[in-house]
Chains A and B, each alone.
Chain A
Amino acid sequence: MSHKLRTRFWQVLGNAFLLFAVFLTVMPYIYMVTSSFKPGSELFSIPVRIFPESLYLGNYELLLRETDFVRWFLNSVFVSAARTALSIVISIMAGYAFAKFAFRFKGVLFVLVIAMLTLPIYVLIVPLYTMMITFGWTDTYIALILPVAAQAIGVFLARQYLLSIPDEMLDAARIDGAGEWTVFWRIILPLSKPVIAVLGILFFTTTWNDFVWPLVVLTESRMFTVSLGLPTLLGPYSQEYGAILAGSFLSTLPIAAVFLVMQRRFVEAITAGAIKG
């Protein structure tokens, strides 16, 4: 009996601890969402209240009508989708070469890929920016998509996954007269669906949330992504906290939607490097 009681005691205590952590985690989100529906007078009122007195939509009107937010949002959608698609294709192709072929310099080339996993982007950001100026690519979509499309983690995960596909399957197709491209297009790609999903989530999230690279190559507001645009609303002359929180909330929705639809894959995607590495 006392043993059962002790178990209960620890269960209550442990879950209280975890729920407190949940509370700390969720609180800023709740505050962000509720405050986005408050007029300025309520936002800056003492004592601080969590929930608004009434549903005020002025912040959203201001955000959508008087800032470039819609444009930023569309920029982010386009850039994230394009960069994700491109990164997936080249990752799977390279991963396939590393997983299923024997060729000269394979080891050296793979080390070159792996070396990029830990190298900070800050090492190359200054010359890369100079290059963008030379190409005339500042304030363009291509600068946000192409130079950052080669992601080592993508090649690594694709290779890891494709290693598990039996060679016999590919050889059978070759004996039936399929060319190498057909083997890739008809067999490898359809079989790669799970790793494509993982890479898609990974690349889309990181591109959507990317701040450093857009900060460097973009100067014109109409080219901004959401991540770059939102903080500019917090300028020295405008303190539109309400609109900023509304924008933060809206910009989180796409990722949150993907997260809710594909929870398991999502966790797998983000923790993939850890478990397989």
Chain B
Amino acid sequence: MYREETQATQEHGAGKPPGERRPTAGWWRRNQRAYTPYLFLLPFFSIYCVFMLYPILDALRLSFFEAGGFGTPEFIGLGNYRQLLEDPRYLKALENTTIYTLASIFILSPIALILAVTIRSFVVPWATFKSFYRLTFFLPFITSLVVVALMFNVVFDPNYGLLNAFLTSIGLPQLGWLRSPDLALPSVIMVGIWTYVGINSLYFLAGLQNIPDELHEAAAVDGAGRVKTFFYVTLPLLKPVILFVVVQATIFSYQLFELPFLLTGGGPSDATLTLAIYLYETGFRQFDRGYASAIGYSMALIAIAIAATQLYLYRRLER
């Protein structure tokens, strides 16, 4: 502390009588430790407060107002939320999004786990193969969803698409895919699986690598077969990662927007309408800001509920 002071005198007082030193300099020298953290937080929290916190609170306020068009908003209490529960389009969007989420949990995640376990197992003993598989499965995740959608638009094209060409070549009838009300949602789910299965298998792989080999060897010594080892040793140890993957998949599935928006625009006849697309249509096409904010808050509530469940389950896992 003493040395600091002398240096301050040298720096600021060089060639000047002591009285002419900036009065704040000494004060700053003495107090900077206390104020520094706030100054370092300032840029982040300025942007955070203006562009996130304020809009979030504003949306909460708006969700209690009838705020369509350019007229003065009118307070209607929980009116927007009550209307959501009776809105067939909202319920359809909720249903579609939930189906997509269930597919993420019960189709996508198991496939990802199987891929990861296969890569990690004795089946692929060669390091170059391992990293080749890893890198390939990583690709779709870093590709823009716009590019993914544009590619699959061509793949799913009823007349000239790869998929129907394949069906024809094995003698099956062609299908409408994205244009058919029954197949549109399954098609979007297929694209979703294609996009996200790789990254989730990498999450599982990271989890598998944290399980020490000795445990498997010990199980083998005890006479457990590979299948038994997997179910009684690997799977229980993988629980935290499984929980993470499922929670991530659930949270992001409920926010699904780009793929259906670009592949089908939510159609045909709302077959692929999601919560986010419905919010976008309400807020930015019909300019009903109050109702759109209510949809947004319903999505936030879903995310919070999932996060809370995750926290609860983590606590139980740790015990």
**A residues at B contact (CB < 8 Å):** 7, 10-11, 13-15, 17-18, 21-22, 24-29, 31-32, 35, 43-48, 89-91, 93-94, 96-98, 101, 103, 106, 109, 112-113, 116, 118-131, 146-150, 155, 175, 177, 179-180, 184, 205, 208-209, 211-212, 215-216, 226-228, 230-231, 234, 241, 244-245, 248, 251-252, 255, 259, 263, 266-267, 270-271, 274-275, 277
| Closest CB pairs A-B (n = 7) | A14-B123, A48-B165, A101-B37, A124-B55, A147-B51, A127-B58, A127-B55
CB < 8 Å neighbour of A180 from B36, B43, B198, B304: B36
Question: Is the pair A248, B147 in contact by a Cβ cutoff of 8 Å?
Answer: yes
* Known pairs A109-B45, A147-B51; A29 contacts B139 (CB<8 A): yes
With most chain A CB atoms within 10 A of its CB, the pick from B153, B160, B254, B262 is: B160
Asked if B307 is an interface residue, CB under 8 A from chain A, the answer is yes
Question: Is the pair A230, B203 in contact by a Cβ cutoff of 8 Å?
Answer: no
* Known pairs A118-B304, A124-B56; A27 contacts B41 (CB<8 A): no
With most chain A CB atoms within 10 A of its CB, the pick from B139, B151, B169, B276 is: B151
Question: Which chain B positions have C-beta within 8 A of A177?
Answer: 3-4, 7
Complex: A130 Cα to B61 Cα, angstroms: 14
CB < 8 Å neighbour of B144 from A89, A209, A263: A209
Contact residues, B16-67 vs A (CB, 8 A): 29, 32-34, 36-38, 40-41, 43-45, 47-48, 50-56, 58-59, 62
Question: Which chain B positions have C-beta within 8 A of A97?
Answer: 36-38, 40-41
Asked if B136 is an interface residue, CB under 8 A from chain A, the answer is yes
Question: Is the pair A216, B284 in contact by a Cβ cutoff of 8 Å?
Answer: yes
Taken residue by residue from 129 to 141, chain B's Cβ proximity to chain A (1 for < 8 Å, 0 otherwise) reads as 1001111111111
Question: Is the pair B202, A271 in contact by a Cβ cutoff of 8 Å?
Answer: yes
Complex: A119 Cα to B244 Cα, angstroms: 16
CB < 8 Å neighbour of B115 from A7, A18, A45, A93: A18
* Known pairs A131-B55, A180-B36, A266-B142; A271 contacts B284 (CB<8 A): no
Q: A123-B297, A234-B150 are in contact. List 4 more A-B contacts (CB 8 A).
A: A94-B40, A122-B275, A241-B154, A245-B150
Asked if B185 is an interface residue, CB under 8 A from chain A, the answer is no
Closest Cβ–Cβ distance, residue B249 to chain A (whole Å): 12
Main secondary structure of the interface of A (DSSP, over half): helix
Question: Which chain B positions have C-beta within 8 A of A263?
Answer: 135
Asked if B104 is an interface residue, CB under 8 A from chain A, the answer is no
Q: List 19 A-B contacts (CB under 8 A).
A: A27-B162, A28-B152, A31-B155, A35-B154, A89-B43, A93-B40, A97-B40, A118-B304, A122-B255, A122-B257, A122-B296, A124-B52, A125-B296, A150-B45, A150-B51, A230-B146, A251-B144, A252-B143, A270-B138
Closest Cβ–Cβ distance, residue A174 to chain B (whole Å): 8
Question: Which chain B positions have C-beta within 8 A of A35?
Answer: 154
* Known pairs A35-B154, A101-B37, A125-B283; A211 contacts B297 (CB<8 A): no
Complex: A7 Cα to B41 Cα, angstroms: 57
Question: Is the pair B289, A26 in contact by a Cβ cutoff of 8 Å?
Answer: no
Asked if B119 is an interface residue, CB under 8 A from chain A, the answer is yes
CB < 8 Å neighbour of A96 from B4, B7, B40, B169: B40
